[in-house]
Amino acid sequence: PPQLVLYDGKMTDKLDVDKGAHHLANFLKSCTAEMQLAVQAVGKTACKELNREDLVAVDKDLASFMGVRHAASHRVAEEEKGAKSNQRARPERSAPAPLPVQ
């Protein structure tokens, strides 16, 4: 509860400081591990190497507003490019007929 954080909160006497410190340490360790995974996911070795080009937004309008790439923009471009090259490369084939059931 938020009262625990306040010096004069109603439940301050129920706060176990050692347990709270342990939980905070676990939270900070997990945050650090997640940041390391995120840094590695974009091909970097340290947080200080991250820059604006590494950021994406999952919402198209938010991406435009923030001046970062939309997360699906590269996929859409690749799909459009692939669709155009597939149309030129080979004619469309129909699906094979299903095997008879015995």
Asked whether the whole model's pTM tops 0.85, one would answer no
pLDDT at 65 over 60: yes
In the structure encoding, which two tokens stand for residue 41, read together?
A: 């996911």
Plot region of 73 (φ>0 → left; ψ -120 to 50 → alpha; else → beta): alpha
Instruction: Check if the beta carbon of residue 46 is closer than 8 Å to that of residue 38.
Output: no
Cβ-proximal residues to 21 (8 Å cutoff; 6+ apart), any chain: none
Q: What pLDDT is attached to residue 58?
A: 93
pLDDT for 40: 94
Give me the chain's average pLDDT, please: 80
